[in-house]
Amino acid sequence: MSAILDIRNLSIELATDNGPVRVLDRFNLQLAEGEIHTLVGESGSGKSLLAKAILGFINPRWKITADRLWWRHYDLLALNASQRRIVTGRDMAMIFQDPSTYLDPNDKVGAQLRESIPVGDLSGIYLKRRADRQTRAERLLHRVGIKDTDDVMERYPHELSEGLAQKISIAMAIAHNPKLLIADEPTTAMEPNTRGQIYRLLAKLSGSQGMSILMITQDLTAVIPESQRISLIYCGQLMETGPTEEVMQKPYHPYTDAMLSMSLFNQETAPKTRLPTLSGAIPTLQHMPIGCRLGPRCPYARSACIHEPGLTKRGQVEFACFFPLREEDDHE
Amino acid sequence: MIRYSLRRLTLLLVTLWLLTVFLFALNYFFPGDALTNMTGVRSADALHYQRLVAERNFDGSIFAQYLAFLSHFMTGDWGQSLTTQRDVFNELLPLFGATLELSLLAMILALVIGAPLGLYAAGQQRGTMDRVIMGVSLSAYSIPVFWLAQLFILFFAVKLGWTPISGQINPLFDIEVRSGAIIADILLSDSSYKSAALADAINHLWLPVIVLAIMPATMLMRITRNSMLDVLQQNFIRAARARGLSEARILLRHALPNAMQPVVRQLGLMFSVLMSNIIVTEVIFNWPGIGGWLVKSIYERDYPVMQGGLFAIAAIILLVNVAVELFHAWRYPQVRKELYAEH
Amino acid sequence: MPNTNIYFQQREPSPLRQIWLHMNANPFAVAAFYFLAVAIVMMLLSPWITPFNPDSQFADAILQPPSWDDQGEIRYLFGTDDLGRDILSRIIAGSVYSLGYPLVAVLFAALIGVSIGAWAGMSRGVQSSTLNHLLDVILSIPSLLLALVIIAILGPSLVNVMFAITLVLIPQFIHVVHNAIYDERYKEYVTASRLNGVTRWYMLTRVIFPNITSVLVMQTTFALSTAILDIAALGFLGLGVQAPAPEWGTMLARSLDQVYLSPWMMVLPGLALFLTILSINVLGDSIRAAIAERVRNS
C-alpha cells in the first residue's frame, strides 16, 4: 500500500497566555489513493485542526512540527506558502463544519461557484468559456442534489439554509476534481435522506475517480460502510487505527471499546439500564494528563499509563496502549 | 431593497418634519417675541408686524400657528435677518454652496489619504510602518481642530507666507456669487482673469481643506486597517486561499469589498464629524459659509438666521446619513437581513 | 499556616481585569494612564499649587517668553500673556474648567444615560425600537451643534455650557447601553438565568451588567474626550466659559490676536489640551483593542 498522504508524528502546539498547549500529539496517518478513511473523535480532540494543518490554514499562533508531512512527493512543511497553495489548491479540497462562514457574504453563490472551476478545464473564446462555466456550475449543483439551480445561484450566502450552504460548499470542493477531499462532519446540518445522498456521492467519487477522502466524524454511528480504514483520536492522541471492519468488530484499545459500547447501534441494552459511558469528562486543553491522555478515564489504566504508549502493530491494526483488550490475533 | 428604501426615506421625512417642529418650538424658547424670532420683524414696525400676525395665524391656536409656519417654511420664506433685514433663505444659498464645497473637497481628500494608508498599514500588520501610521493617526485624531487650524496658520501663513491667512478669495477679483462654491463660480463667471482668480481661490482653499480633512482621514485609516485585518482572518478568505485562487484575486474580489463595508457604514459618521469641525474652521478662516454665519448669528442673537443655519446643517447631515445608509444596504445585501430580523 | 492552594487552578480574570492586563502590556497606554492620573491630581490641587494667582497681572512682565527662551525668566516658567498673567498658573488653573467640568458632565450624563438605556434595553417592543430610531437620528447630528442650540437658547455662561454638554452626551450613553443590553439579552446565558426565574433587577445588575462594563468604560472615555473638545470649542468660539476664566479654549481664542508676537501663548494651552485628549484616546483605543482581543479569544 503506497500512501499518497503520509503523516508521521505530527504535533500542533497552540500558543496561549499560559504557555503552549499541545492539541495534537504525535499523530500518524496514512492514506492510500482512492481510499476512504474515517477519523473519529469527540469535539475538541484536534481532528479539525489536523485537517487544517494538512490544508495549510496556518495560523501564526500554531506551531506545527512533524517527522513527515508528505503529500505524494511533496514535503508540505518544506514548501513556502505560495507553492503550498498551488499544491493544495490543485490537489485538495475541504468540506467544512460550518459552511456558511466559508462563503464570501457579499458575493452571489453562482459567482463563487463559477470561480472555483479551474480555468484550465475550459477552452475556446471568452463567451464559450463563460457558457461552459455556467453549465459546469449547474451540473455541479445537480450532482449535490440541488434542482433549482438558477434560483440558488442568484442568492447571497445569507439567504441559504445551513444544509443548502453545505451542499454548495461540497459542490465547490469537488469542482476541480481534487485528489484528496477532507470532509469535516459534512452532513451535520442536513436531513437524513440528503445525508445518504451525499454519502453515496462521496463514495462514488472515491470509487470512480480515485479520490481519497478523509472523513471526519464525531461518533462511530456515522462511519459509512464504504470507509476502508478508520482512526480513533482522543485529546489529540491517536488511539487505534486499522481496517474499519476489524477495528469495529474486535477492538484492541479500551477507548475504541468504550466508543463502541457507547454508540446506540447494534446494541442490546435492556430497558431502563444506564448507558455505558467512560467515567469523568474530557479534560480541558490546559490540563492534559501526562502519558496516555485517556489514562484517568480508562477502566483498565495502571501505573504504567503515565508514560506514553507507542504504537503497537498487530497485523493491519495499530494501537497506542500498553494493555490491549486482546492478545495476539487469535485467528478463530 | 424597495421596502428598505421606503422605510429609510419615510424615516428621513419624519425626522425632517420633527426638525421643523423643533424649529417652531425654538421660537418660543428663545428670549423675546415669538413672531419676531420667527420672521425677523420687530413689533416696532407696526404695520408690517400686524400683517404678519394675520399671515402667520398668530391669533389662532398654536396648531394653526405651526401650520402657517410650515407652509411659509416650505415655500422658502424663512424670515429676515434681525440685524441686516435681508431675506434668510436667499442669503443662505450661496453660504451653503461655500460650505458644501469645503466639506466635499475635505471629504475627498480624506478618502484619498485615509483609505490607501489604512490598507497599507493592514498589509504591514504589526510592522514598523503599521505602528507609525497608527500612532500618527491617533495623535492627529486627538488634535482639537481649532488648535490645528491655528498652528497651520501660524506655520504656513505667518511663518512661511505661502497662503493668505483667511478668506475665500481676494476681493479684487470681482467674481459674481452664484452657487457660493468659489471654484464653480469662477468657472461660471465671464471674468477675464479666470485662471488668476482660480489660482488665488485654490491658494485660499488648500489650507482649510487640509485642516478639515485630517480628522476624517485618521478615522478612515483606523477603520480601513482594522476591518481589512478582520476580513483577512475570516474563514472564506482562508478557504479561497486553500482553493488556490491567486492572492490578487482574493484581495480584489473578496477581501477589499468586504473590508470596505464598515468603512462605507462609517462615512455618515465621518461627515457628521466633518460638519462639526467645519463650524469652528469657518470661523477661524473667515470662510463665508453656513458655520461661521451660524456662530455669528448666535453672538448677535439673530434668531431667524440661527434657525436657518441650524436647519441647513442638520438637514444636510441627515440627508448624507440616509444616502450613505441606502448605498450601504444596496451594495451589501446581507445588511438588509440584519435590519429585518427581529429577535 | 500551610499553603492550602496545592492544586494549580487557572483563574479566568474578570473582563475589567483582562483589559487592565492588556493595557499594562502597552507602554503608551500606561504612559497615558499616568499622564491622566497626574493631570487629575493637579486639577484637584490646583488652588494650592499654582505658582501665582492665575488672574493677577504683572505689569513688569508682559508677553514674557517661556523660561527656555533667551529672554525668558525662570520665575515665569511658561512665560506670561498680553496682560502679564503667568501662563503656567493659568494652564494649571484652567484644568478645572477643561478637565474637571467635562469629568463632572460625563459623570452626570453617564448616570442618567445608563439608567435610561438600561430601562430601554430591558423593555421590549415598540417603545425601545422607536427610541432606537430616534436616537439614531439625534446622534447623526454633531454634539457641538446641539450644544450650540442650547447655548443659543440659554445664553453663554459656564452653568449653561455644563448643562448643554451633559444633555448632549446623554443620548450617546442611552444608545450604547441600550444596544449592549440588546445584544446580550438573547444570549444563552441570559436565557438560562431567565429560566432560573431571577428577577429583572437581578438579571440587569448581576447577569447582564458585568458583561457590558467594558463597553461602558470605552463609551465613557469617548464621551470624556468629546466633552473636553466641545467645552474647549465653545470656549474658543466665545460661547462657553467667559473670558477672564483661564479655560484652555478661551486662552487659545485670545492668543489668536497675539500670534505674531508670542506664538507660545497659543502653543502651550493647545498642547495641554492635545495631550489630555490624546491620552484619553490612547486609553480608549487600548480598551477597544482589549475588548476586540477578548472577543477573538472567546
Mean of pLDDT over chain A = 79
Any idea what the Cα angle at residue C289 is, between residues C286 and C294, rounded to 5°?
125
Locate the chain C residue with the closest alpha carbon to B22.
C149
Please tell me the distance in Å from C6's CA to the nearest CA on chain A. 15
Per-residue pLDDT tens over the stretch B287-337: 888 998 998 888 888 888 888 888 899 889 989 988 988 888 888 877 665
**Res. C253: pLDDT tops 50:** yes
Q: Give the model's confidence band at B338: pLDDT under 50 very low, under 70 low, under 90 confident, else very high.
A: low
Q: Is B128 on the interface with C (CB under 8 A)?
A: no
What are the start-end ranges of the H helices in chain C? 15-24, 27-49, 87-95, 101-122, 126-140, 143-154, 158-184, 188-196, 200-202, 209-236, 248-258, 264-297
Mean pLDDT for C83-106 is: 86
Q: Which of A86, A93, A158 is the closest to B337 by Cβ?
A: A158
Any idea what the Cα angle at residue C97 is, between residues C95 and C99, rounded to 5°?
55
Beta strands, E only, B98-203: none
Q: What is the distance, to the nearest Å, from the Cα of residue C120 to the centroid of all Cα atoms in its chain?
A: 24
- Containing structural domain, residue C192: 15-51+70-290
Distance (Å, rounded) from C-alpha B147 to C-alpha B155? 12
Cβ separation B243–A116 shorter than 8 A: yes
CATH of the domain at C259: 1.10.3720.10
Q: Give the model's confidence band at C1: pLDDT under 50 very low, under 70 low, under 90 confident, else very high.
A: very low
Domain ranges of chain B: 2-74, 98-341
Cβ separation C266–B150 shorter than 8 A: yes
Q: What is the pLDDT of residue C6?
A: 58
Q: Is A286 on the interface with C (CB under 8 A)?
A: yes
| Model pTM score | 0.80
Given CATH 3.30.470.20, say whether it is the number of domain B98-341: no
Please tell me the distance in Å from A27's CA to the nearest CA on chain C. 26
Q: Give the model's confidence band at C131: pLDDT under 50 very low, under 70 low, under 90 confident, else very high.
A: low
Distance (Å, rounded) from C-alpha B220 to C-alpha B115? 6
Cβ separation B239–A105 shorter than 8 A: no
Cβ–Cβ under 8 Å, residues C272 and C91: yes
Q: Chain A residues with CB inside 8 Å of B235's CB?
A: 96, 98, 101-102
Q: What is the pLDDT of residue B242?
A: 76
Burial of C74 (0-12, 13-18, 19+ CB in 10 A): exposed
**Res. A276: pLDDT tops 80:** no
Cβ–Cβ under 8 Å, residues A152 and A164: yes
Per-residue pLDDT tens over the stretch B183-196: 787 787 777 777 88
Q: What is the pLDDT of residue B112?
A: 93
Q: Chain C residues with CB inside 8 Å of B29's CB?
A: 153
How many contacts (CB atoms, under 8 Å) link B and C? 104
| Close Cβ partners of B123 (under 8 Å, ≥ 6 residues apart) | none
**Res. B342: pLDDT tops 50:** no
| Close Cβ partners of B136 (under 8 Å, ≥ 6 residues apart) | none
Per-residue pLDDT tens over the stretch B88-109: 888 888 888 889 999 999 999 9
CA dihedral B126, B128, B129, B132 (to 10 degrees): 100
Per-residue pLDDT tens over the stretch B16-69: 888 888 888 888 888 878 888 888 788 777 888 888 888 787 777 888 888 888
How many contacts (CB atoms, under 8 Å) link A and C? 3
Locate the chain A residue with the closest alpha carbon to B233.
A59
Please tell me the distance in Å from A60's CA to the nearest CA on chain B. 11
Q: Is C276 in a helix, a strand, or coil?
A: helix
Cβ separation B144–C239 shorter than 8 A: no
Q: Is A80 on the interface with C (CB under 8 A)?
A: no
Helix axes B256-285, B303-331, angle to 10 degrees: 170
Per-residue pLDDT tens over the stretch A223-239: 777 788 888 888 888 88
Please tell me the distance in Å from B222's CA to the nearest CA on chain A. 22
| Torsion sign over Cα B91, B93, B94, B98 | positive
Q: Chain A residues with CB inside 8 Å of B244's CB?
A: 85-86, 88-90
Q: Is there a domain that residue C281 lies in?
A: yes
**Number of folded domains in chain C?**
1
